[in-house]
A = this chain, B = another copy of it.
């Protein structure tokens, strides 16, 4: 039997892959890439093929989800297939589903990890990782109202915890929820729920293009962040809970937050 090696591309472009990932690509019989579960703004397939010396087959959402990844499973039945994916593999449920399906057929699977937006955004913010609660995706408001994200932010704050919010995207259509529209939607929910969780005076951190050399991190009150120009996608938001004094200092020095943010000693 063959195997599928899931290789993380890391963030932003074709330079985010690890040395180990590149070795796996070079020794594969067939190389696939999917570029729809997350946005890699600087990724060039042509350049990656040149760096790796291998031809790479692009698989679509339909290939993976409707056609049950048959093209990959077939390639992996007797040989070694590599599937390149944005970020860290197996964070997207689509990949977990493919992995289960392959293992059930006796095809071995392995993972070569890559940088994930989850830890990247936390690192960029300067906040303490162990103070984050459940994370959530803010969907496009015209598709799904943000009742659930609002509740997650509220619930985390009740425990003093930070909330990481990924903003929805349709990478294949180049459609991205931006910071302004996400905040406006949460303010709309606030107007109904009135829990004082997301108001114009709430501290928020916006992050754009995590992992790129021009990543932007901006902390401030929502009334100010609403008008801030973050540049191109993708985007994330963090709603801080209680701040340790070092976290408050990080937001001021590294992300332009106002001085004198309230802190707690834990």
| Residues of chain A whose beta carbon lies under 8 Å from any beta carbon of chain B | 8, 10-11, 13-20, 22-23, 51, 87-91, 93, 96-97, 99-100, 103-104, 110-111, 113-116, 118-120, 122-124, 126, 128-137, 155, 159, 161, 210-211, 213, 215, 246, 249-250, 253-254
Flag if A253 contacts B18 (CB, 8 Å).
no
Measured CB to CB, the closest approach of chain B to A86, in angstroms, equals 12
Measured CB to CB, the closest approach of chain B to A61, in angstroms, equals 18
> In the complex, A122→B210 CA distance in Å?
20
Given A18-B15, A88-B123, A115-B115, A134 contacting B137 (CB threshold 8 A): no
> In the complex, A109→B182 CA distance in Å?
29
Q: Give the copy number.
A: 2
Measured CB to CB, the closest approach of chain B to A217, in angstroms, equals 10
- A–B Cβ pairs within 8 angstroms, 9 of them: A10-B114, A15-B19, A91-B123, A93-B246, A103-B253, A104-B253, A132-B135, A133-B134, A134-B161
> In the complex, A91→B93 CA distance in Å?
25
Flag if B15 contacts A23 (CB, 8 Å).
yes
